[in-house]
Amino acid sequence: MLETANNDRQTGGPAGGRRARRHAETRAEILEAAWEIARSEGLAGLTMRDLAKRVGMRAPSLYSYFASKHEIYDAMFAQGYRQLMERWEALDLPDDPHDLALVAMRLFVEFAVEDPARHQLLFQRTVPGFEPSTESWAVAQEMYQRTLVAPMAAIGITDPHLLDLATALGTGLADQQISNDPGGDRWLRLIDESAEMFLTHARSRKRRR
């Protein structure tokens, strides 16, 4: 081995060490395989055996990368929120409030629908004994700030009630699409109308104050 002079031991070494880098790469591979299984078998259908098989390992070897199955769910949870944030940052944001609201709602609903298992993990949290770690929760909170609170403030909406109403509308469209018309577009087609309804409502409340 070439790294005998390299004194990073196990996973505790410097972030750029060859061993640590390889370790992180394998972790990423495992997570990618986990998403694939979750997508095809359902979130609860993810098992250590299947996961190991898909990355060309035996089940016990996974424990060199994750301490438990819950830790894998936790990493997926944080990764999912980061994905949504990156998707948001990559957008070309329009100035017009109406368009901005529409783009935001469309992003959220389409993100949910394109991977129902991910939506279930991130927003419904119906996995038997799983609770996200505080670190992963922090990622979720940051997403909420950056992709909802901040842009809404930019178009003059700061009332917490209205933010909650917006999230209800978004998850409602997503959940209905996923549960009652998987693969179709029955609720996807209502995104524009919903955004418009919401904005009109928000404006009328503001006027009334």
Partner DNA sequence: GTCTATATTTGGATAGAC
Partner DNA sequence: GTCTATCCAAATATAGAC
Binding positions for DNA, rule: CB under 7 A: 10-11, 19, 22-23, 26, 45-50, 52, 56-61, 63-65, 68-70
Residue 18 near a second copy by CB under 8 A? no
Tell me the H-state helices in 115-190.
116-119, 134-144, 150-154, 160-180
Q: Which residues contact 50 (CB under 8 A, 6 or more apart)?
A: 37, 41
* Binder among 5, 193, 207, 209 for a second copy (CB under 8 A): 193
DSSP codes joined into one string, 62-78: GGGT-SSHHHHHHHHHH
What is the nearest approach in angstroms of DNA to the Cβ of residue 33?
13
Sole residue written with tokens 């109406």? 98
* Binder among 21, 49, 58, 189 for a second copy (CB under 8 A): 189
What is the nearest approach in angstroms of DNA to the Cβ of residue 45?
7
In terms of Cα–Cα distance, which of 67, 75, 63, 64 is closest to 34?
Answer: 75
Looking at residues 114 to 133 of the shown chain, list those that interact with a second copy (rule: CB under 8 A): 120, 123-126, 128
Residue among 71 and 181 whose Cβ is closer to a second copy? 181
Q: Which residues contact 172 (CB under 8 A, 6 or more apart)?
A: none
Q: Which residues contact 31 (CB under 8 A, 6 or more apart)?
A: 72, 75, 76, 79
Task: Look at residue 134 and give the partner it binds from DNA, a second copy, none, a contact being a CB closer than 5 to 8 Å depending on partner kind.
Answer: none
Site pattern 42..71 for a second copy (x: CB under 8 A):
x-xx--------------------------
Cβ contact 5:17 at 8 Å? no
Which residues bind to a second copy, rule: CB under 8 A? 42, 44-45, 120, 123-126, 128, 161, 164-165, 167-173, 175-176, 179, 186-187, 189-190, 193-194, 197-198, 200-201, 204
